[in-house]
Structure 1
Amino acid sequence: MRITCIAFALVLAATAQGAAVPNSHVVHEKRESPPSKWVKREKISSSYVLPMRIGLKQRNLDRGHSFLMDVSHPDSPNYAKHWTPEEVIEMFSPTEKTVDAVKEWLIDFGINSDRITHSDNQGWIAFDATTEEAENLLHTEYHIYEHSSTGHVTPACDSYHVPKHIREHVDYITPGIRLLSATKRGGTRPPTKTLPGYFPWSEEGELATCDKAITPACKYALTKQKYPFGKPRSDNSLGIYEEGDYYAQEDLDLFFANFTPYIPHGTHPSPAFIDGAEAPTDTANAGGESDLDFELAYPLIYPQTITLYQTDDLYYATNLNVTSGSFNTLLDALDGSYCTYSAYGETGDDPNLDPVYPDPTPGGYKGKLQCGIYKPTNVISISYGGQESDLPAYYQQRQCNEFMKLGLQGHSIFFASGDDGVAGPPGDDSSNGCLGDNSTIFSPAWPNSCPWVTNVGATKVYPGRTVFEPESAVVDPEGQPYSIAFSSGGGFSNIYPQPDYQKAAVAAFFEKHNPPYPYYEGNSSFGANGGIYNRIGRGYPDVAANGDNIATYNQGNYSSSGGTSASTPIFASIVNRINELRLNTGKNPIGFMNPALYSNPWMLNDITNGTNPGCGTVGFSAVPGWDPVTGLGTPNYPKMLAFFLTLP
């Protein structure tokens, strides 16, 4: 929930809570200091009602890795034998002991049982409480925090406490210490120039200028594909996620007319609109992200279809800058078990950071939060994200578990790795987007560091080079050609350890191409001995694709754009094409593909040139084998297709 102006007016100064924390309680979450753009404001009125949500510890999450490897590793006898949603719920729901212990704690405190609801996926307990009740329950103080750039305000505390015997049963509680600020991954990058409104379509002419503009013919040559053909299946649409950014049909039609005349005028994504979302928009308001995603994907998959997961009504999607609202409204709509409104009238989303429906604002979506209304497509491309430092580990881990569950069910989730090299966006945690007192520590991205998604970095055809020569990692200094710098996001998580499937590849990187930087080992030793990255964290990206100088039509003009938001739908489209052929032979979709990629890197084009600078360094280097700049490399469609068709 975002506090509206009316609600904000109810936030008044309250008296400080004087009771000391009893010895029976321990700190469950604590924030040392807020991210630099969040400002702590006044205390919240003691009578203000907070929608409290307690995330319960789920069972068997420690077995999630082995479960997912069992259906994802090509050497497993159960490869592609994906689980049903019901099997996932049954395996991971909290124990009765956990549910009973938390309910008993609340009732003993004075929260009547009729105020407490339990979600249908068993993962959440919800109740409304006044600020005074919540502060006394958790031995904390709630203040308003305001984001200095967006003006977004949210209630939060610096820390909170739970009884010692309850801690083992609780993941995290909201409102709590979370402060969230996430962004699009490129796509809206200011173009270098506006070009003529018509580009004569000629494959030969395009291939001669791929170092200046990546067109569909360039993409085919880079990935070694042929034009799509055949009758499309109805059960294999490519999913693309958008929030607060909208395509214009006129832009798509201009692109088709100039580059892909075999795609009919009027071709558009199938709507999967979530919680009042709408699309398309008029040309003047067309978003660079959405136009780019569709203009990249359609030439690679047509006549296959695209499903647009457009989330949230206009008020939430734009006015309150929830454009990357932790992806929870998307996950709610795809997985009813993730969403608690479906049976109990409350949500497992963060009620202070995610949209709340019905939306009371004028013109807002008046329906309930939509839960489990869409079956997830086999492949979903997501070009949005933030940094690990934007929010606590509990929140990220809980969401990461959902991506693991989607992988168990056979869905491939692709994320753009970010556009700021080893740093975050400038001004996020510091002026240069880096961490630590001196702003020198690399800032890993979220949810990219989750081990159960596939991260896509960016490459480019350097000036004077051709599509028949090896690509390089994107390194675009400010003004060359974009008005802001761009390099492929990559690095090592401060939250997740290296998953088994990538340990050998990461070890080889360190052995043969050891970076010249001091490091620390684990977040508990963050920055120790001058270390600027976590040597034992999950490495990303996993793969890469071209993401620079992309020819696009936006707001009626032909221009160039770039970002890992471009490389992600390219890689996702290729996997969608492979799934089509697997399905045609009676096989299941690939699902989570990282184990297959890391154990068979030969099917990708290794990238060995370029870096991803940031934090006063040149970043990491693209080298033979896996690296935290371009991962294992770019797609080689014939090799990937041949390999995945051999699997059961």
Structure 2
Amino acid sequence: MLDMYRISFWVVLVAAFAITAQASPSFAFDVLKERVVVPQGWVRRSISNESEIIPLRIALKQANPGTIESALNQTSDPDNKNYLKHLSKQDVLQLLKPSTRSAKVVRDWLESHDVHLNERSSAHSFLVEVPVHKARRMLNADFSVFEHRDTSEKVVRTTEYRLPRDVADHVDLIGGTTYFSTLHTMRRPSRIIESDVQMPTTDQHGRISKVKLNQSGAVQNGVPSSCNASKVINKCLRDFYGTSDYKPQAASKTHIGIAGFLNETANYQDLDLFLQNQRPDAHRGHASFDYVTLNGATNNQSLEASTGEAALDVQTVVGFTWPIRTSFYSVGGSPPFKKDEFTPTDTNEPYLQLLEHLIQLEDHKLPDVLSISYGDDEQTVPENYARRVCTLFAALGLRGVTVFDSSGDQGVGGDDKSECVTNDGNDKPTFLASFPSTCPYVTSVGATQDFAPERVTTKKFSGIVSGGGFSRYFNRHSYQDDVVTSYLTDYQGTQYHGLYNPLGRAYPDVAAQGSRFLISVGGKYELISGTSASTPLFASIVSLLNDARIAQNKATLGFINPLLYKRLGGSGAFNDITHGSAEGCGNSKGFKAAQGWDPVTGFGTPKFKSLLNKVIDL
């Protein structure tokens, strides 16, 4: 923790901005708060039902914007005297807090419309549920039903909204209005893998029976004999990255969390079957996970309800980290939600829901690592929304949490060149960055395949291409400057000029195997590839590093990007990936993997023992 002087400094700094004037706002003039262009793929279908209840999350401005980021820059910088002095829940909430005046102005505005706060509101984020006709009056907005052409998802949204002048200055954004989510999992199931891959034995119902897998730890040509690139088991991954002989020493004090969106369901029977065959010692030890439901999510444990993303995440993490505590956070939509002909699918905005929950957890309940295997095209996320979410990721980092996100499965964009255009109405060619990987306060993870050597995943072999690139919303932090500038100078030049922002936050930061993981889904085997596989893998390795530090009464690593770029990158702690590229957007080869850091695999894949030796004494 920061010393008491430091804590007092931040608290006093926030208090200085807490203006307590009691004058009531006039609510007289409208200010355009946000305007967006309907993203590609979404089509307006009809005017929304006036009586439909929609959730609105009103994010209040911090009394002192930037304080969270400023504090995190100290606690995450290995050159700073406050390095790894994480803050408590109360300290961080105080930094997030709006001014007293902001809270009063927004409350008065809501009361003037006879709108009351939901019990899940916090001091810095108000949640309300209102019928569409009332939202129209409050926000001077036209709400309609929009449908996505590919997924048939329907949501109630508006393309712009306004606020009274006296209210606008106190609000960062209103969620549930302009965010047309393209949220998707970063994985591909077995149906895209060639049919000649021999799968393990199943019974007459397709359920897993006794499996014979090579559990040998012998190494040949630098590759463990347990490894087969066409069918990758957990034992292979632990052998290859050097964690097989590490035994967690502080499992009861170490905690890793997994985000679950889009109705993904983690199944206990699937985990049991996976462990029985791939981690028998954990199976004998009754390894499990905590299933946490948020905002109307359900926990359906029938095998028919089991889904691939959740299975991949949970099985990878538990297979690596047992007996460390694992929590799966299943995030549903904001209630109330009733399916009808107007809105048959949930209007879910998952990031804020999950982050608001985690920020409110007591210190001993908060995971020290969080793995997220989902992403949006950055340009489809309203910038104000993305910045608010990113600030909350920074707040988690300030509490000592390392947040990982998958870099994407489509290289620099989609398969079709026509998908790679701006959504500002001009349809200019562009590479598509992935959020939240573009947030500077998460650690982005790319994916590799093969073992001798590892290379960037390819569409032909893995079904996915590891994503990477540069943000158009967030600037690059100074600790990235040297390696990113070197890459752009040595390998990129003027190629793809205008298709990306060379000054933006560059990602991914690291990489790991993400091809053909053998996973149990619904009692059957699937081979799954994606940065959804590499992300929980890398998150698990950092969880083991935290375990070793906690066993010595040391702080968790928290936000690790400054450490990566200042100390660990180029230190021999990673396998440098130099083969492959982030192809996409039609026939573009995209960014190339290269010596040192690159925007496809970051610094490369982890060498656990080397990392452990380097971080244990920090």
- 1:291 to 1:533, Cα distance in 2 relative to 1, 3 A: same
- Corresponding residue for 1:340? none
- Corresponding residue for 1:245? 264
1:228 partnered with 2:195: no
1:144 partnered with 2:145: yes
How far apart, CA to CA, are the structure 1 residues paired with 2:57 and 2:225? 55
How far apart, CA to CA, are the structure 2 residues paired with 1:559 and 1:116? 45
- Corresponding residue for 1:614? 584
How far apart, CA to CA, are the structure 1 residues paired with 2:138 and 2:522? 52
1:509 partnered with 2:487: yes
1:307 partnered with 2:330: no
- Corresponding residue for 1:62? 66
- Deviation, structure 1 residue 26: 3.7
Instruction: Select which of 602, 613, 618 maps to 1:642.
Output: 613
Query: What is the 5 A alignment of 1:86-165?
Result: 86-102=90-106, 110-111=112-113, 115=116, 121-125=122-126, 131=132, 134-164=135-165
- Corresponding residue for 1:403? 393
Secondary structure at the residue paired with 2:610? helix
Unaligned runs of 5+ in 1: 1-21, 337-370, 462-466, 520-530
Partner amino acid for 1:97? R
How far apart, CA to CA, are the structure 2 residues paired with 1:453 and 1:39? 32
How far apart, CA to CA, are the structure 2 residues paired with 1:126 and 1:277? 17
1:85 partnered with 2:86: no
1:493 partnered with 2:471: yes
1:561 partnered with 2:528: yes
- 1:164 to 1:508, Cα distance in 2 relative to 1, 3 A: farther
- Corresponding residue for 1:632? 603
How far apart, CA to CA, are the structure 2 residues paired with 1:46 and 1:373? 43
- 1:564 to 1:588, Cα distance in 2 relative to 1, 3 A: same
Secondary structure at the residue paired with 1:513? helix
Are the equivalent residues in 2 in contact too, given 1:277–1:314 (CA < 8 A)? no
- 1:65 to 1:52, Cα distance in 2 relative to 1, 3 A: closer
Which moves more between the two structures, 136-145 or 615-624? 136-145
- Corresponding residue for 1:202? 215
Are the equivalent residues in 1 in contact too, given 2:472–2:501 (CA < 8 A)? yes
- Corresponding residue for 1:9? none
Query: What is the 5 A alignment of 1:435-446?
Result: 435=422, 440-446=429-435
Secondary structure at the residue paired with 1:263? helix
How far apart, CA to CA, are the structure 1 residues paired with 2:338 and 2:81? 44
How far apart, CA to CA, are the structure 1 residues paired with 2:172 and 2:499? 28
- Deviation, structure 1 residue 612: 0.8
- Deviation, structure 1 residue 117: 7.9
- 1:258 to 1:501, Cα distance in 2 relative to 1, 3 A: same
- 1:322 to 1:70, Cα distance in 2 relative to 1, 3 A: farther
- 1:97 to 1:179, Cα distance in 2 relative to 1, 3 A: same
- 1:387 to 1:320, Cα distance in 2 relative to 1, 3 A: farther
- 1:44 to 1:258, Cα distance in 2 relative to 1, 3 A: closer
- Corresponding residue for 1:550? 517
1:420 partnered with 2:385: no
Secondary structure at the residue paired with 2:282? coil
- 1:334 to 1:180, Cα distance in 2 relative to 1, 3 A: same
1:595 partnered with 2:573: no
1:533 partnered with 2:537: no
Secondary structure at the residue paired with 1:262? helix
Are the equivalent residues in 1 in contact too, given 2:190–2:527 (CA < 8 A)? no
Query: What is the 5 A alignment of 1:291-306?
Result: 291-306=311-326
1:454 partnered with 2:439: no
- 1:123 to 1:211, Cα distance in 2 relative to 1, 3 A: same
- Corresponding residue for 2:17? none
- Corresponding residue for 2:373? 383
How far apart, CA to CA, are the structure 1 residues paired with 2:55 and 2:227? 56
How far apart, CA to CA, are the structure 2 residues paired with 1:163 and 1:128? 19
- Corresponding residue for 1:475? 458
- 1:63 to 1:334, Cα distance in 2 relative to 1, 3 A: closer
1:346-365: per-residue Cα shift (whole Å, max 9, x none)?
Answer: xxxxxxxxxxxxxxxxxxxx
How far apart, CA to CA, are the structure 1 residues paired with 2:57 and 2:269? 44
How far apart, CA to CA, are the structure 2 residues paired with 1:47 and 1:555? 39
Instruction: Select which of 320, 327, 347 maps to 2:351.
Output: 327
How far apart, CA to CA, are the structure 1 residues paired with 2:43 and 2:213? 52
- Deviation, structure 1 residue 58: 1.2
- Corresponding residue for 2:179? 178
- 1:164 to 1:550, Cα distance in 2 relative to 1, 3 A: same
How far apart, CA to CA, are the structure 2 residues paired with 1:117 and 1:554? 37
Unaligned runs of 5+ in 2: 1-26, 202-210, 219-223
- 1:270 to 1:103, Cα distance in 2 relative to 1, 3 A: closer
- Deviation, structure 1 residue 100: 4.2
1:29 partnered with 2:31: no
Q: Normalising by structure 2, report the TM-score.
A: 0.82
- 1:226 to 1:324, Cα distance in 2 relative to 1, 3 A: farther
Are the equivalent residues in 1 in contact too, given 2:271–2:311 (CA < 8 A)? yes
Q: Percent identity?
A: 30
- Deviation, structure 1 residue 40: 1.6
- Deviation, structure 1 residue 422: 0.8
- Deviation, structure 1 residue 86: 0.9
How far apart, CA to CA, are the structure 2 residues paired with 1:258 and 1:422? 37
Partner amino acid for 1:486? I
Are the equivalent residues in 2 in contact too, given 1:334–1:373 (CA < 8 A)? no
How far apart, CA to CA, are the structure 2 residues paired with 1:559 and 1:127? 41
- 1:209 to 1:40, Cα distance in 2 relative to 1, 3 A: same
Secondary structure at the residue paired with 2:616? helix
How far apart, CA to CA, are the structure 2 residues paired with 1:311 and 1:455? 21
Secondary structure at the residue paired with 1:203? coil
Partner amino acid for 1:27? L
- Corresponding residue for 1:257? 276
Partner amino acid for 2:92? V
Please tell me the root mean square deviation across aligned C-alpha atoms, in Å. Answer: 3.4
How far apart, CA to CA, are the structure 1 residues paired with 2:347 and 2:161? 28
- Deviation, structure 1 residue 74: 1.3
Which moves more between the two structures, 133-142 or 219-228? 133-142
1:100-142: per-residue Cα shift (whole Å, max 9, x none)?
Answer: 44456667xx536x85789864323566666555444444322
